[in-house]
Amino acid sequence: MNDPHPTVGLDDVVHQRTRLGILALLDSGASMEFGALRDALHLTDGNLNRHLKVLQEAELVATERRGSGRPRTWASITATGRSALAAELAALRALIAAAEQ
């Protein structure tokens, strides 16, 4: 019996291109402001909002409003999000290793 192909275990919530970008960026540091995240990933406000909502519902990302006057949204990765991203990256490493054989 062979091991399952590395793509079989991928979770679409994490693997989807935009959400993978959001998680990877948030994993690399502290929280990021909405506009910075949007610009780094070349997204529209609506697109970022939609994907943040999916990530929040899966408890992979948390958001909070900060500041007075015009408060801004800041996003951060949760511990669950870090684990999910680590599992995704491990599967991608296995995929790349298989491709290089």
Task: Catalog residues that contact a copy of itself under the rule CB under 8 A.
Answer: 4-8, 10, 12, 15, 17-18, 20-21, 24-25, 27-28, 40-42, 85, 89, 92-93, 95-96, 98-99, 101
What residue type is 47 in one-letter code?
A: N
The closest of 46, 43, 34, 40 to 76, measured between CA atoms, is 34
Q: CA torsion 30→37→81→50, rounded to 10°? A: 150
**Choice between 5 and 65, CB closer to a copy of itself:** 5
Measured distance CA(4)–CA(53) in Å, rounded: 31
**Choice between 58 and 95, CB closer to a copy of itself:** 95
3-state secondary structure of 75: strand
We find the least distance from the C-beta atom of residue 61 to a copy of itself, in angstroms, to be 15
Assigned token pair, 71 = 């408060």
**Choice between 35 and 67, CB closer to a copy of itself:** 35
We find the least distance from the C-beta atom of residue 3 to a copy of itself, in angstroms, to be 11
We find the least distance from the C-beta atom of residue 20 to a copy of itself, in angstroms, to be 5
We find the least distance from the C-beta atom of residue 43 to a copy of itself, in angstroms, to be 9
Measured distance CA(70)–CA(41) in Å, rounded: 23
